[in-house]
Amino acid sequence: MNAHVTIASHEFDVVPAVEDTSMHHHPVQAALPAPAQFTAVTDLIKTVFQVPSVAVALHGAPANAERGVYRSFLEIPLINNADVIGSLRILDTAEREFSDRDCQLLEGFAKLVVDQVELWSEASRDMLTGAMTRRAFSDALRKTFAASTRVHGTASLVMFDLDHFKSINDTWGHAAGDAVLKTVARTVLRELRVEDSFGRVGGEEFAILLANADGQRATDVAERVRLAIENASFPGYPQIKVTSSFGVAEATDSVLDAEDWSNRADAQQYAAKEQGRNRVNTAIDEMPLQAMVN
């Protein structure tokens, strides 16, 4: 059912969403489009309705409305295969009544937004595990590093892979390997927050991008994920037990760029394997080699 609301006597202030810095055990979307994905359609909606702001809010991500004080809004749910996945809202600084025709128009735009979400998901999500693809995760990593550098924020990267995964395929077959990968992905997602990103960056290699998390908090999360994987059961293959090795790196001031950040986490993951596997190693902040040479 559509909802259209006009506020005539009270103003309300829309401000950017503040991310929760606590670590909650919420199910998380494996991948969500960035607000820029909808720029073309939101600009068109602004022109058609002659409003200053349009917000696309997907479940698991903050709305992208411009900051401001608004007196009227019209909101339509975003529906995909009978599931509500978010909402599309137009906001106006003036008092106004939205008509049934306005609702019908916005419903049409809502379908366009849902189509964009679907197309983005097909290109950005690993079909087997539901995690972000390597390309999508790398893009998120670069954007997060740039944003963290710009505002002096905190973020950490966790990289891990499954120990002796080849032996699972060799012993029980690739169907067993696929079952392990699917279960591991679901297990990891249950331990993350909605603002965190989770990607499959190799065959049995994964990465987690933790927003608002320093190295210590990221280490705690990695240890929790490690234990969850170690205790996981795999449907149809009760005889299989899996462990994993983790590398953690915080995006500190000494990190040169997203590639350097990734290399630090990868080096710690390799060290964890060298030191016996099924463990978490965390990078100690130090100046990169290039900086020390200069």
pLDDT band at 286 (very low <50, low <70, confident <90, very high): low
Ordered domains of the chain (ranges, CATH): 3-124 (3.30.450.40), 134-293 (3.30.70.270)
Q: Average of pLDDT values for 279-291?
A: 71
Q: What is the percentage of the chain residues whose pLDDT exceeds 70? A: 82
Task: Tell if the pTM clears 0.85, that is, is over it.
Answer: no
194-228 pLDDT, tens digit each: 788 999 999 999 999 998 899 999 999 999 999 99
Residues contacting 172, CB < 8 A, separation 6+: 237, 240
pLDDT band with cut points at 50, 70 and 90 for residue 33: confident
| pLDDT at site 62 | 54
Mean pLDDT of 70-98: 92
Mean pLDDT of 251-266: 95
DSSP single-letter state for residue 66: P
Longest dimension (CA), the chain: 70
Query: Exposure pattern of 159-195 as b/e (b: 16+ CB <10 Å)?
Result: bbbbbebeebbeebeeebbebbbebbbebbbebbbbb
For tokens 């200069």, name the residue: 294
pLDDT of residue 288: 47
- Residue 292 banded pLDDT, cuts 50, 70, 90: very low
Those residues whose C-beta lies under 8 Å from the C-beta of residue 141, and which sit 6 or more positions away, are 157, 207, 209, 258, 261, 262
- Which pLDDT band, with edges at 50, 70 and 90, does 34 fall under? low
Q: Give the pLDDT confidence of 143-154 residue by residue, as tens digits.
A: 899 988 888 889
> Residues 35, 36, 41, 43: what is their CA dihedral angle, to the nearest 10 degrees?
100
Q: List the structure tokens of 134.
A: 């390597």
Q: How far apart are CA 198 and CA 188, in angstroms?
A: 8
> Residue written as tokens 């986490």?
265
Amino acid at 156: S
Q: Is residue 218 classed exposed, middle or buried when 0-12, 13-18 and 19+ CB atoms within 10 A define those classes?
A: buried
Reported as a pLDDT band with limits 50, 70 and 90, residue 11 is low
